[in-house]
Structure 1
Amino acid sequence: MTSMCVNDVIKEEYSFVYGDEAVTYEVIRKPQSEDKKRKIIIKVHPNCEIIVTSPEDAERSDIHEAVMKRARWIYVALKEFRSHLEFIQSKQYISGEMQFYLGRRYVLKVIEDSDTATSSIKLYRGKLLVTLSTLNKDKANQVKTLVNKWYRTRAEIIFHERLAELLPQTTWIKGIPSFRVLTMVKQWGSCSAKGNLMFNPHLIKAPKECIDYVILHELCHISEYNHSEKFWRLLTSVMPNWKQVKTRLDGMAELYLNE
């Protein structure tokens, strides 16, 4: 379980197992006036996030019981939303579209400014702001190129930071492994037999915990170049909640990989 407090609202994260899948859900505890009936509300969102809203003094056991009573409904809803994600339309790279960065959503805003010397891109007040100095015939492709270059640059920076943070846990590794950022269709990362690492730049769209999972997964392959029981034990030793994190990443994969 993890928890944090934002603007006096306590957020917690738990999981339960349904079939062969670990399902993660977030609990948000909110103050409730005495004249209102105490309720535990469960919502499954189209992006496959599961949010449970409860009174701030609700017992953990009561929340768990409420979730387990609706476990089948939650699982069915997840399957339905995941099937919808398979038919997500390709991006047009126009203002108003949604972009992701480190698990957060940002609205793409495209501005044309002939007075600007060079085109630029930056995060600004909840938006991914793209400023074009000149236009070519294919404006969408111009924006796409800038966006993908920005993602790759941010990926190289953040992946280096996370790798340095995680290496002390991986005692079987000597030195600092190098890696390349390479776009892959169906993989978040890979490790060659020689220990060469590659990470998908689209992974930068996911929360840091998901990035850590992929990095640790590939670092474990340096010791165990397979998916044997020994490999999974090693991964569990450095990330005990990897199943929940993997489920979270898998649930958003279609959105993160969508171009």
Structure 2
Amino acid sequence: MTSINASEVDKEEYGFVYGDEAVTYEVVRQPHTEGKKRKITIKVHPDCNLIINAPDDALREDIHEAVMKRAKWINDALSNFRTHLENVQPKHYVSGEMQFYLGRRYVLKVVEEPEGISNVKMTRGKLLVTLKRFNEDKQTLIKTLVSKWYKVRAERAFHQRLAELLPQATWVTGIPSFRVLSMAKQWGSCSAKGSLMLNPHLIKAPKECIDYVILHELCHIAEHNHSERFWRLLSSVMPHWKDVKSRLDGMAELYLNE
């Protein structure tokens, strides 16, 4: 199953002190491609995870030096993300709230049209919800309409991505069945019979994150637990899955916020 914020084994973690704060970071090793410049990149993710991508033969001292050169920038980014996370509030489904779709942000706009039809559509950077009339059940109705819209979009997009990714999953025979179901702690799961279950909230994430979850669950058809063989199989079809997972985990609280 693809859990939210699941911990992985064999992490390479270090730390440093900036001001009065101890900061930890994870080093993700990348194979160096011949002819390309060796570089160390630093990413602060929305969940306040600090990830350092480095060549597989980079010295720990060189990595630490690169981190310390950007210590102030790292501290500022962490402070901004912490403030943001503290301000995540349950949605009230009113105009002006933020919604997500395929990794992009959209502003919710609610309008009343007595002669129209209650529906949801995306237009010009907005998620437009039309209601025939406003009443005391307005918030519940908007939430229901938006949830259904996301589910329909999710089913369509997941079908497309599954069809696109299946040729990579050479161990899978046939086309796995799947259903879309809201889950509080998982992005997806795979049954013993190879049926997939995917969280409709995943449609709010970038396409690459959707691909990661689908490939993760397809790997469970061959390896039913998170063994070393499982992670090797996942790495063979998505070498940079750790970066993608970290990106998805970093936005989980916003994507799952209802």
Partner of 1:106: 106
Q: Percent identity?
A: 73
Q: Give the alignment of 1:234-245 within 5 angstroms.
A: 234-245=233-244
Partner of 1:97: 97
Partner of 2:159: 160
Distance 1:222 1:43, change over 3 A: closer
Distance 1:71 1:187, change over 3 A: farther
Contact 1:189–1:200, Cα closer than 8 Å, also in 2: yes
State the alpha-carbon separation in 1 of the partners of residues 180 and 76 from structure 2. Answer: 35
State the alpha-carbon separation in 1 of the partners of residues 108 and 48 from structure 2. Answer: 22
Partner of 1:181: 180
TM-score by structure 2 length?
0.73
Q: How many residue pairs were aligned? A: 211
Contact 2:45–2:247, Cα closer than 8 Å, also in 1: no
1:147 counterpart = 2:152: no
State the alpha-carbon separation in 1 of the partners of residues 225 and 152 from structure 2. Answer: 30
Contact 2:96–2:107, Cα closer than 8 Å, also in 1: yes
State the alpha-carbon separation in 2 of the partners of residues 229 and 75 from structure 1. Answer: 34
Higher relative contact order, chain-length normalized (CA < 8 Å, sep 6+): 2
1:246 counterpart = 2:245: yes
Q: Give the alignment of 1:1-259 within 5 angstroms.
A: 19=14, 21=26, 69-70=69-70, 74=74, 77-78=77-78, 81=81, 85=85, 88-116=88-116, 118-259=117-258
State the alpha-carbon separation in 2 of the partners of residues 98 and 79 from structure 1. Answer: 21
What is the CA RMSD across the aligned residues, in angstroms? 2.9
Distance 1:98 1:241, change over 3 A: same
Structure 2 gaps, min length 5: 1-11, 15-24, 29-41, 51-64
SS in 1 for 2:108: strand
- How far does the alpha carbon of each residue in 1:175-200 deviate from its partner, in whole angstroms, 9 at most, with x for none? 00010100000100001111111000
- How far does the alpha carbon of each residue in 1:96-149 deviate from its partner, in whole angstroms, 9 at most, with x for none? 000000000000000001011x20111100000001113342111110000000
State the alpha-carbon separation in 2 of the partners of residues 200 and 86 from structure 1. Answer: 24
State the alpha-carbon separation in 2 of the partners of residues 75 and 194 from structure 1. Answer: 47
Distance 1:46 1:243, change over 3 A: closer
State the alpha-carbon separation in 1 of the partners of residues 151 and 195 from structure 2. Answer: 18
Contact 1:155–1:204, Cα closer than 8 Å, also in 2: yes
Distance 1:75 1:170, change over 3 A: farther
Question: How far apart are residue 71 of structure 1 and its match?
Answer: 5.7
State the alpha-carbon separation in 2 of the partners of residues 212 and 134 from structure 1. Answer: 39
SS in 2 for 1:110: strand
Structure 2 counterpart of 1:98, which letter? M
State the alpha-carbon separation in 1 of the partners of residues 78 and 238 from structure 2. Answer: 24
Contact 2:47–2:249, Cα closer than 8 Å, also in 1: no
SS in 2 for 1:96: coil
Structure 1 counterpart of 2:149, which letter? W
- How far does the alpha carbon of each residue in 1:200-254 deviate from its partner, in whole angstroms, 9 at most, with x for none? 0000000000000000000000000000000000000000000000000000000
Distance 1:113 1:22, change over 3 A: farther
TM-score by structure 1 length?
0.73
Structure 1 counterpart of 2:196, which letter? L
State the alpha-carbon separation in 2 of the partners of residues 43 and 73 from structure 1. Answer: 11
State the alpha-carbon separation in 2 of the partners of residues 163 and 129 from structure 1. Answer: 28
Structure 1 counterpart of 2:185, which letter? K
